[in-house]
Amino acid sequence: MAAQTRAVVSGQWLADAIRNNLVGSKLRILDSSWYLPKLKRDAKAEFAQKHIPGSSFFDLDECSDKSSAYDHMLPAPDHFSRYVGDLGIGNDTHVVVYDTSDFGSYSAPRVWWMFRLFGHNLVSVLDGGMKNWLADGHQVISEYQKLERSEFRASFNQAWVKSYEEVLENIRTKQVQVVDARSAGRFRGTEPEPRDDTLSGHFPGAINMPFITFLDASGKWLGLEDLAKLFREAEVDLQQPFWASCGSGVTACQVVLAAHLLGHPGVCVYDGSWTEWFKRASPEHVISEGKGK
């Protein structure tokens, strides 16, 4: 089925798949919602109240490196394998991810990227998320049935993950473009970061492309021409390597997905992103119109 390799699938496509009883070992749906603590939203509790029929909850904080000082950093491949296997996902399962954010897309592309990073390309993001699923009148339920465990074997594409040291070295060499997906205010240092222990700003050479600019007013993905125009206006050359960053590695994956839709897969992510950078960088590597470091 050609749609299985599409990075983004429509609500109608998913509704048809559910109606035709295609959800099972070959098709799994994941609510991958995650929210910053300041929003005071409990994604797991919201899933228990209502979710797309047949879906399971993917917990970004659970499926992460618990030993890291930073939030939801990538888990080890064997941890990822166990976690998604418990969700009934095997290596031949088409996975559709969505989230319940008011933007229409927020954390789902992070989970889309994680699957691809761990060697699983049969993964799609639901266009417009739960926001548009509800607006289009599709069914939601509260019942949840635990799925039978599957065997999942992860590989790991280390080259797609960038470290603090690599970003620091790139500031010196200027070899790679780095796109920051946070809002313009957080990037410039004129709006606060959502984490109390982190001030806003950016590292030298970063290019700001707020993730919400990739979405239309309804929260669905822009068409390819409009996406390409955004990269042109930001002076990001899609033909050249580039990396993506954000607050903590979540919305950076929107940049990865946008580039993927335009035929440029493999954009790398700085997993620690601004949260790590601010804590570790020297003051001259924190550029801000506000307080600085």
Single out the catalytic residue among 63, 246, 253, 268.
246
Contact 205, 178 (CB under 8 A): yes
63 carries an active-site annotation? no
Cα–Cα distance measured from residue 28 to residue 32, given in angstroms and rounded to the nearest whole number: 12
Place of tokens 């954010």: 101
The identity of residue 193, as a single letter, is: E
Opening angle at CA 234, ends 231 and 237, nearest 5 = 55
Cα–Cα distance measured from residue 24 to residue 111, given in angstroms and rounded to the nearest whole number: 19
Handedness of CA 226, 229, 234, 237 (dihedral sign): positive
Point out the residues that are catalytic.
Answer: 246
